[in-house]
Amino acid sequence: MTSKPTCGAGSMPEPAMRPAAGTPVCAIADLPDGGGRMFVFAAESGEFRLLVLRSGARCLGYENRCPHFGIPLAARNEHLILKPHESVSCNTHYARFRWEDGYCDSGDCVGESLPAVPLDVIDGVVCFA
Ligand code: FES
């Protein structure tokens, strides 16, 4: 595999493999509407970091990996910078990503995106699709 060049950060390490479809993440009831939460899953290839944003009955998943430096958007859940249903911003240099598609529309990595991670909600449980 090759590393994708990014704005300002040179090349980043490849992320760990995402967990298999059906792997549970959390109960949707654990996420407030308009809220978000970060998760870490151990994998053979390292840690897979997931960001989940909830809008009503829907949950949007993204790799928690800022395209600028390849680091998580925040160190702790309480430090996530969210504008409910609109955007999430990186704690480090404040790049802003659209809620709906993870596209960076402001900051050091404009034009790049948080990679989408398909999620399902089945019987109230958020899981990898
Ligand atoms: S690491 Fe620079 S904006 Fe996220």
Average of per-residue pLDDT across 3-22: 62
In the chain the domains, ranked by start, together with CATH numbers, are: 5-128 (2.102.10.10)
Return the ligand 1 atom nearest residue 67 CA.
4
| pTM listed for this prediction | 0.88
pLDDT given for residue 15 in this prediction? 65
Closest CA to 99 of 59, 39, 66: 59
Give the residue, by CA position, lying nearest to ligand 1 atom 2: 93
C-alpha 90 – ligand 1 centre gap (Å) = 6
Q: Is pLDDT above 70 for 5?
A: no
The confidence band for 45, taking pLDDT boundaries of 50, 70 and 90, is: confident
